[in-house]
């Protein structure tokens, strides 16, 4: 599936863009409404985009009553991003959701104070609250990402979303003060691609869980590389701001990239980066067997 990264597309404002995807991921929903951080809270840099939005959202009650019914009208599989400030916040929201494709637990936002509980504890409480598929969204900033991935898998996560933004800072060249009001923010854009590839590669090897790969995706080749590292789904993020036609463009590029690699379907390259054979490209048959299902 080709998705959007949470917070990088408003489907109700730009439904024509959302419908070019295979599924839509909502902005993170918290129990109470949040205005987010004070502006300025978005800044472009030479290395990518910084944001410190701070999980601005209408809150659970209004989302369920007003936003979710309208999102259902799009006819897309819906992934609901859930956040909170304690494990019970997450679980309470999960318990209210039904008839959606999956729940993505935002366990790694760099722009708010994180819940005191560990990622695994939050997943365990949410697992008890819902039977829906749970994807744990993790940050590559963890000292031992694979250990966290294993822990959330053992706690009941059905999949992983990798990676969230990394903390970054930009200074105004004239004042040498932080550009964002909060100071640091989440860095996204092409600079994240090698980080995302490493995270997906490591966590696939550590858990075997389905993974939504994201971070720095701007082309079909980027998507193919994430698939090769072990991503079953890929999400587009920052690229959707300057290029709302990116989903269609990237699909075409992905088909050509797969053909150039020597496979019929992009999914046939699934986890090929984990297969080292003597002959380049000889992992194709193995990857086809591993995939076990349609991709993208």
Residue among 109, 229, 272, 283 flagged as catalytic: 109
Q: How many CB atoms lie within 10 A of CB 66?
A: 12
How many Å apart are CA 285 and CA 14, to the nearest integer? 40
Whether residue 292 has pLDDT greater than 50: no
Q: What is the pLDDT of residue 109?
A: 76
Whether residue 144 has pLDDT greater than 80: yes
pLDDT of 158-174, one tens digit each? Answer: 999 999 999 999 999 99
Helix-, strand-, coil-residue percentages of the chain, each rounded to 5? 40, 20, 45
Q: Is 203 a residue of the active site?
A: no
Q: What is the pLDDT of residue 115?
A: 66
Q: What is the pLDDT of residue 290?
A: 36
How many Å apart are CA 107 and CA 113, to the nearest integer? 11
What are 105's strand-pairing partners? 82, 136
Q: If you ran DSSP here, which 8-state letter would residue 192 be given?
A: G
Q: What is the pLDDT of residue 284?
A: 46
Whether residue 82 has pLDDT greater than 70: yes
Whether residue 278 has pLDDT greater than 70: no
Give the confidence band of 39 by pLDDT, cuts at 50, 70, 90.
very high
For the sheet with 2-4, list strands across it.
2-4, 233-236, 211-213, 159-162, 134-138, 102-106, 78-82, 24-25
pLDDT of 172-231, one tens digit each? Answer: 999 999 999 999 999 999 999 999 999 999 999 999 999 999 999 999 999 999 999 999
Quick one: average pLDDT of 250-257? 98
Give the confidence band of 277 by pLDDT, cuts at 50, 70, 90.
very low
Quick one: average pLDDT of 32-44? 96
Structure tokens at 257: 């990239």
pLDDT mean across residues, the chain: 92
Percent of the chain with pLDDT over 90: 89
Whether residue 105 has pLDDT greater than 70: yes
Which domains, and CATH codes, for the chain?
2-291 (3.20.20.70)
Q: What is the pTM of this model?
A: 0.92
243 and 11 Cβ atoms separated by less than 8 Å: no
């Amino acid at each position: 599936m080709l998705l959007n990264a949470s917070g990088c597309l408003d489907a109700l404002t730009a439904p024509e863009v959302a419908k070019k995807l295979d599924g839509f991921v909502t902005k993170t929903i918290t129990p109470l409404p949040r205005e987010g951080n004070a502006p300025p809270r978005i800044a472009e840099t030479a290395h990518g985009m910084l944001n410190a939005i701070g999980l601005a959202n209408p809150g659970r009650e209004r989302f369920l009553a007003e936003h979710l019914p309208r999102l259902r009208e799009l006819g897309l599989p819906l992934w609901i991003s859930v956040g909170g400030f304690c494990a019970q916040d997450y679980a309470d929201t999960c318990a209210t959701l039904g008839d959606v494709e999956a729940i993505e637990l935002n366990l790694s936002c760099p722009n708010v104070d994180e819940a005191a509980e560990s990622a695994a504890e939050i997943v365990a409480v949410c697992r008890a609250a819902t039977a829906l598929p749970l994807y744990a969204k993790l940050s590559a900033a963890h000292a031992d990402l694979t250990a966290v991935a294993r822990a959330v898998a053992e706690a009941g996560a059905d999949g992983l979303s990798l990676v969230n933004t990394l903390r970054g800072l930009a200074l105004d060249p004239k004042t040498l003060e932080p550009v964002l009001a909060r100071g640091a923010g989440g860095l996204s854009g092409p600079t994240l691609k090698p980080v995302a590839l490493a995270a997906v590669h490591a966590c696939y090897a550590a858990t075997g869980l389905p993974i939504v790969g994201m971070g720095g995706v701007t082309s079909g080749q980027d998507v193919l590389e994430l698939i090769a590292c072990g991503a079953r789904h890929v999400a587009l993020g920052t690229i959707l701001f300057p290029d709302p036609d990116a989903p269609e463009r990237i699909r075409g590029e992905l088909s050509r990239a797969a053909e150039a690699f020597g496979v019929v379907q992009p999914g046939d390259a699934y986890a090929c980066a984990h297969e080292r054979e003597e002959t380049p490209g000889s992992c194709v048959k193995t990857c086809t067997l591993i995939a076990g299902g349609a991709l993208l």
